[in-house]
Amino acid sequence: MRIERPHPEIGALATGVDVRALDDGDWQTLYRAWLDGIVLVVRDQTLTKAEFLAYSRRFGRLKPHRVRRTRDPEHAELTVMGIGTRKADGRVDASIYNRGGHWHTDSPWDDEICKGTQLYGVAIPSSGGDTAFASMYAAYDALPDDLRQRIAGLEAEYIYGGRKREGHDLLEPEDRERPPAVHPLVRRHEETGRLSLYANPHHIVRIRGLSEAESDALVRTLTPYMVETPVQYRHAWRKGDIVIWDNRCGLHRACGGYPIDEARIHWRTTIMQDGVPQRLAA
């Protein structure tokens, strides 16, 4: 197995390995590369759904995604992304074509922190369709001291799609009015011990204890640190790639821009961190 680092702080690309037959040493190396790189790509895999689920489970418990209609009918823990980019009348369905098109972490609207998300590239278009990733360690490190002090101890509320409720039509009616989940703006990563900014500009509703105007202004101030950090990795997909990202310390977005009538299909799993208490940053 060979692991390359496209950037010293983000991204790790593994080749020469079959995830169906990993020995303990290679597994430990991959896991460490993921923690260090925030995003881990394993190239050239040929997997069944059951094999992809088994590999995903090595990272932690899998949780079925809240969007029920894109779950695989036989495996609730597996979401199939990218099916149905056109509506019956021929118009583009943006909630499928652009799913994940804003900078975000996955599942901040869930009380349980989602440790990782893993995608497997099943069908990849001839151009476009990349996924971009940004380091929230770097975002936190770049904050001026007064801003760091201002956000220490603050918590934010999140709902699916944020205040605009974007993508809500993907949810079943009974899942649309769930109460917000609350998470600290600064997190200490449970495994690396590093501090990161966790402010998810897409799904945020408000920062607790601030007026709506103050909360919006603070999100606007924090957002450039998150989405303009130079510590980014942009993944150009190949069929057979597995990509896992760490939602505790990174943002990502689907870059779109692929031909609408070419298939871009991924299998997706949501990986939880059981037994690891969430801690406020010191």
Binding site for ligand SIN (CB under 6 A): 81, 100, 106, 117, 131, 252, 254, 266
| Shorter beta-carbon distance to ligand SIN: residue 98 or 223 | 98
Helix (H/G/I), strand (E/B), else coil: 223: helix
| Shorter beta-carbon distance to ligand SIN: residue 106 or 110 | 106
| Shorter beta-carbon distance to ligand SIN: residue 135 or 215 | 135
| Shorter beta-carbon distance to ligand SIN: residue 208 or 238 | 238
For residue 105, what are its two tokens?
């972490």
CB of 212 to ligand SIN, least distance (A): 27
Contact yes or no for 92/188 (Cβ under 8 A): no
Which residue has the closest beta carbon to ligand SIN?
100
Contact yes or no for 59/244 (Cβ under 8 A): yes
Sort strands 155-158 and 195-197 into parallel, antiparallel or unpaired. unpaired
What is the C-alpha to C-alpha distance for residues 21 and 1, in angstroms, rounded to an integer?
12
CB of 11 to ligand SIN, least distance (A): 15
Based on its alpha-carbon atoms, the radius of gyration of the chain, rounded to whole angstroms, reads: 18
CB of 131 to ligand SIN, least distance (A): 3
| Shorter beta-carbon distance to ligand SIN: residue 183 or 266 | 266
CB of 263 to ligand SIN, least distance (A): 13
Contact yes or no for 135/9 (Cβ under 8 A): yes
Helix (H/G/I), strand (E/B), else coil: 181: strand
Cα dihedral 100→104→110→115 (10° resolution): 100
| Shorter beta-carbon distance to ligand SIN: residue 167 or 180 | 167
For residue 60, what are its two tokens?
């932690």
Instruction: Give the residue among 116, 202, 215 at the shortest CA–CA distance from 166.
Output: 202
CB count in 10 Å sphere of residue 111? 14
Cα atoms in the Cβ-side hemisphere of radius 13 Å centred on 238: 10
Residue 31 φ then ψ, to 5°: -65, -40
| Shorter beta-carbon distance to ligand SIN: residue 151 or 243 | 243
Q: Which residues contact 276 (CB under 8 A, 6 or more apart)?
A: 190, 191
Q: 208: which DSSP letter?
A: T
CB of 3 to ligand SIN, least distance (A): 22
CB of 211 to ligand SIN, least distance (A): 31
CB of 231 to ligand SIN, least distance (A): 19
CB of 235 to ligand SIN, least distance (A): 8
| Shorter beta-carbon distance to ligand SIN: residue 167 or 218 | 167
